Structure 1
């Protein structure tokens, strides 16, 4: 029998400020998205177990498309496995809006199709019963 927490999904959206651009073309480092994954993982743990939990590891991280300052990112975590104290989560970060500085200093657009920028699989742990 599967655990009712499997399939639990949490999504956060965040604007990527220009202060986070580290590279040419206003590119943002991959650690920025991993921080977002940590935030959605924390909410998953709170919702599933009533505890913030701890991020234990990533078993896979794929940087699939660039993240740029001026983007709006949607970071999602889905519980795919529930162990005694561990939870396996699948993560995806999608660019849903993108700045268009070439069209004007504050120009931006909602993308017709989100761009999958980063995917990952990670494990979080929560305290055992009575801890």
Structure 2
């Protein structure tokens, strides 16, 4: 009957070796020693161990404070995504209505010319006989 327990003991020893090699036992031992040396024992020892096991681990109060900020940021993200989609649709409608975005997709008007800057007239820009277009072709 003792032979049945040998594989279990072997597996247990392998697991213990694994915990020792990875530093888990040392870390847990240090946290337990910290708890042992506390002059006033905490009312929630599990929370104490959790908090001290990983020093950068936020506590429940910090998490509770961050949740509303995360929810607010997610709501703002959704609003911005909706605004982006609306602006994309408006841009597409404007391009179609004005002839920009012709079949070539080059941003030129249907007649092959680009858009003039505000206040410019074709053929006269600052006294010169040229046209300045939005695109830099």
Regarding TM over 0.5, the answer is no
More relative contact order, 1 or 2 (CA 8 Å, 6+ apart) = 1
Q: Looking at secondary structure, tell me which structure has more strand per residue.
A: 1
Q: TM-score, normalised by structure 1?
A: 0.21
Q: TM-score, normalised by structure 2?
A: 0.20
Q: Looking at secondary structure, tell me which structure has more helix per residue.
A: 2
